[in-house]
């Protein structure tokens, strides 16, 4: 569970935030503006982390994580269709916000709570290692999509990863809120 959740959030977060300027250029925005737009959209990161930190304890881990993955998938698909600057910024800001709700909820809370205390460090380390290996492979997929297919394939990839993670967490993930950790 930890490997699926952390891998999905890392793949989505890294793919979108690291490639955002390039994706904006592919949408027809010039480089100077794309870097400024990236900065505006990344302002959603601290907001999302704050929202995630507040909600995860108030309403539960799965109750935050599953809808946030679904909303991330939907916003990613909507973002791919945007051509007007205002909507690129608005949807991009919302997308970054939901990604960082996931980052705060999964990375900071949920992942470690999935393991008993005696195995927590190794379990979280293993899950993070798998996620990082997948993240290292992602630039090759992105570069291939940008040169051979269409930039929208990247958003379809992110949406698919987010939906699969939402289903896995919803069906198999335990709710760890107020659960005694050994």
pLDDT for res 32: 65
Helices within the chain (DSSP H only): 2-26, 31-42, 44-59, 61-80, 85-102, 111-113, 120-148, 152-172
- The answer as to whether 178 is a domain residue is no
Number of compact structural domains in the chain = 1
Rg over alpha carbons for the chain, rounded to the nearest Å, is: 16
The DSSP call for residue 151 is T
- The answer as to whether 179 is a domain residue is no
* Residue of 150, 132, 160, 154 whose CA lies nearest to 141: 154
pTM of the model: 0.89
pLDDT for res 182: 61
pLDDT for res 93: 95
pLDDT tens over the chain, length 182 residues: 899 999 999 999 998 888 777 777 777 776 566 778 888 889 999 999 999 999 998 999 999 999 999 999 999 999 888 878 888 889 999 999 999 999 999 998 888 888 888 888 899 999 999 999 999 988 888 888 888 887 788 889 899 999 999 999 999 988 887 776 66
- The answer as to whether 50 is a domain residue is yes
- The answer as to whether 181 is a domain residue is no
- The answer as to whether 136 is a domain residue is yes
Taken as a whole, the chain contains a residue count of: 182
pLDDT for res 88: 86
- The answer as to whether 6 is a domain residue is yes
- The answer as to whether 182 is a domain residue is no
- The answer as to whether 81 is a domain residue is yes
What CATH number has the domain bearing residue 130? 1.20.1250.20
pLDDT for res 5: 95
H/E element, 91:
helix 85-102
Cα gap 115→96, rounded to integer Å:
28
Domain carrying residue 116 = 2-172
């Amino acid at each position: 569970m930890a490997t699926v959740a952390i891998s999905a959030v890392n793949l989505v977060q890294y793919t979108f935030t690291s490639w955002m300027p390039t994706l904006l250029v592919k949408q027809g925005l010039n480089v100077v503006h794309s870097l400024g737009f990236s900065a505006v959209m990344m302002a959603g990161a601290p907001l999302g982390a704050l929202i995630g930190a507040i909600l995860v304890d108030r309403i539960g881990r799965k109750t935050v994580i599953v809808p946030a993955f679904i909303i991330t998938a939907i916003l990613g698909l909507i973002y791919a269709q945007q051509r007007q600057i205002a909507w690129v910024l608005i949807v991009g800001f919302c997308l970054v916000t939901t990604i960082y709700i996931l980052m705060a909820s999964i990375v900071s809370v949920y992942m470690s709570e999935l393991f008993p205390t005696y195995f927590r460090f190794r379990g979280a380390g293993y899950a993070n290692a798998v996620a990082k290996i997948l993240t290292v492979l992602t630039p090759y997929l992105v570069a291939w999509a940008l040169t051979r297919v269409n930039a929208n394939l990247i958003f379809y990839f992110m949406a698919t990863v987010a939906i699969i993670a939402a289903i896995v967490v919803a069906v198999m993930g335990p709710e760890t809120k107020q659960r005694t950790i050994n």
